[in-house]
Structure 1
Amino acid sequence: MDRIELYKQSKLLRTFITGLDGETKDVEYSNSESIYEIIKEVVFDFKDGKSLTNLIVYVYNKANNRLELSNLLEGSFKDDDDIISELLMCKIYNVPVVPNNKTSEIELLRLYKKMYDSGFAILDEGKKKKYKIVDDHNILNYSLYDSKINYSQLSYADFEILKEKLAIDIRKYDSAYILINYLKNGIDELEKILNADRRNENDLQMCISKYAVLFGTEYIKVIPKFKFGSDYETDYVLQKNDGLYEVVELEASTHKLFTKNGNPSSHLIHAEQQIFDWFEWLERNNPYIRENLNDLYSPTAFIVIGRTKDLSETDIKKLRRRNIILKNYVKILTYDDLLKRARALLDLLTNESNHS
């Protein structure tokens, strides 16, 4: 039922009866300087593209010697400025404004948001002047967790706006919770495989295929075994949230990065050459890439190979220098490096979540 239907007939509030003998007495009412001081609520309606207000006021029924609630006056407003000025006056006098139905609720929220966000125009000395609600009273600036909020002074629309903000927060925290648990599961699985007595390289590949988040939260899509024409095939192509792509070449965790003489191993050189061959192919075949991967023009790449425990201090320094030289093109990681990066990311996410 529409809210205004409640006031089609006057609603009895109370009778003025004093004394045990039932004697009635007249009640003196002072003349108010503002009609807003006698309004119980304003019912907002929206019909045929026009904003309407119904003033629900206390009315003294002399015949029955009682105070009643009645729909005293309906107002019509030609534009947003006019109705927003009316809503502002209701806010000043703390008069509740409630929607008549769901359609009216949507429009009422739009008007309140516009009032808080863009301000409002008031006729001053024959000219419309623009004003804005100060930050301390602007609901859009309120923190949901501020204990200083005086909820008794909030309008129906204010509460709905806060509910929308809360829903956004809940969705954000839900997404963060899902992401954190997804990352935790990936870390646990990768760590379990790496620490197994008999490590299965297929399990490693399946883990990384399943948990692309191990490379970072910016990756939104994984394309496994992407073929560059009939010439090459990648282990993975990772799409980032900025639309760019990165190529991943996975080598066995048992492979060495450097020989005993300190030279790059054949496995590392092969992986690097594979990446450079892909890049060269991309340069030659831009039309094909535009059709299949629009933003894969100048990608960067990951090579994941070997274990950190198999590296000497000298090897670690050499790997660091190699990454510096190749930083604009290739990032070389051991499987332990990948695990370490993922743990650092998890620590960052959980700390941010705890402080939110």
Structure 2
Amino acid sequence: MSTWNIIEVEKELKSAYDNNSEVELLKVLKSNSFLFYELYSRRWGIQPNFKEVSLGNKFRCDFAWLNDNSDGPEWVLLEVEKPHMKLFKQNGEPSSELNHAVEQVKSWDRYFNTHPSEKSRIFGAVSKFRFILVAGKKEDWETEDAAKWRAYHNKESKFEIRSSDVFNRPLKVAKEQIAELWSFEENPISLGHSNLEKYWKQYDYISHWRKILN
């Protein structure tokens, strides 16, 4: 028996997409960790994700989680925008909404470059970051101008851009291969930011890397 009501999750996700609602989308994501399945680089033995993580006094990411790799802690910071956000103007230039979202994620990188001690204060220890922006429909990213822009951006930038369909596809896994989600069932929902410091202080892996990196 699944930890989640997959049929209900599918309805809520569809409603968020139909209404082009970032608020609705964030709500369903916070309660259903398996929807992050494709964004985790490792799907077994995952670490929990944390919602609405404050980065200093000015910035905040929607979600963050740790990849506890053997070569050091990689923290994934995720920004989620409207599912059907307008991506490009008729002349092929990025829309103001897309530019704003991109700038928002870039501001995180600038913040940590300017305030390096904040990395250890917030996350305990950081070897590297992986920044992800999820925005827009798959179909809109498949136009020639959009595809070229994203391919160049993902190659040259420090963060990657994914379409909102990245949250739809895990539903198929949940319906057909629920056993694949056992690690997500151990961490079924997003934890609040207030749990983040307690989490890494109790994790020996982070303590080990704090001695090395800090």
TM over 0.5: yes
User: What is the Cα deviation at residue 300 of structure 1?
Assistant: 0.8
> Any idea what SS the aligned residue of 1:302 has?
strand
CA distance in 1, matches of 2:82, 2:126: 26
Kindly indicate whether the alpha-carbon contact (under 8 Å) linking 1:187 and 1:214 is maintained by their aligned counterparts in 2.
no
Distance change >3 Å, CA 259–CA 215, structure 1 → 2: same
Aligned-residue CA RMSD (Å): 3.2
Identify unmatched segments of 5+ residues in structure 1.
Answer: 1-176
> Any idea what SS the aligned residue of 1:244 has?
strand
CA distance in 1, matches of 2:61, 2:180: 35
CA distance in 1, matches of 2:127, 2:31: 26
Kindly indicate whether the alpha-carbon contact (under 8 Å) linking 2:17 and 2:83 is maintained by their aligned counterparts in 1.
no
1:337 to 120, 144, 166: 166
1:238 to 52, 65, 69: 65
Q: Which has the larger radius of gyration?
A: 1
Please list, as runs of the form range in 1=range in 2, the aligned pairs for 1:209-228 lying within 5 A after superposition.
Answer: 209-216=30-37, 217=43, 219-228=46-55
Q: TM-score, normalised by structure 2?
A: 0.64
CA distance in 2, matches of 1:195, 1:343: 14
2:86 to 251, 256, 259: 256
Distance change >3 Å, CA 312–CA 228, structure 1 → 2: closer
User: What is the Cα deviation at residue 295 of structure 1?
Assistant: 3.0
Asked whether 1:203 is paired with 2:30, we answer no
1:303 to 127, 130, 133: 133
CA distance in 2, matches of 1:317, 1:301: 19
Higher relative contact order (CA 8 A, sep 6+): 2
CA distance in 2, matches of 1:249, 1:320: 16
Q: TM-score, normalised by structure 1?
A: 0.41
User: What is the Cα deviation at residue 239 of structure 1?
Assistant: 2.6
**Amino acid aligned to 1:210:** S
CA deviation profile, 1:267-293 (whole Å, cap 9, x unmatched): 222222222221121123222321320
Between the two proteins, what is the percent identity of the paired residues? 18
Asked whether 1:322 is paired with 2:152, we answer yes
Kindly indicate whether the alpha-carbon contact (under 8 Å) linking 2:68 and 2:74 is maintained by their aligned counterparts in 1.
yes
Kindly indicate whether the alpha-carbon contact (under 8 Å) linking 2:65 and 2:75 is maintained by their aligned counterparts in 1.
yes
Asked whether 1:291 is paired with 2:130, we answer no
Identify unmatched segments of 5+ residues in structure 2.
Answer: 38-42, 182-214
Distance change >3 Å, CA 188–CA 246, structure 1 → 2: same
Match of 1:168 in 2: none
Kindly indicate whether the alpha-carbon contact (under 8 Å) linking 2:82 and 2:135 is maintained by their aligned counterparts in 1.
yes
Match of 2:14 in 1: 192
> Any idea what SS the aligned residue of 2:128 has?
coil
> Any idea what SS the aligned residue of 2:112 has?
helix
Q: Which has the higher strand share?
A: 1
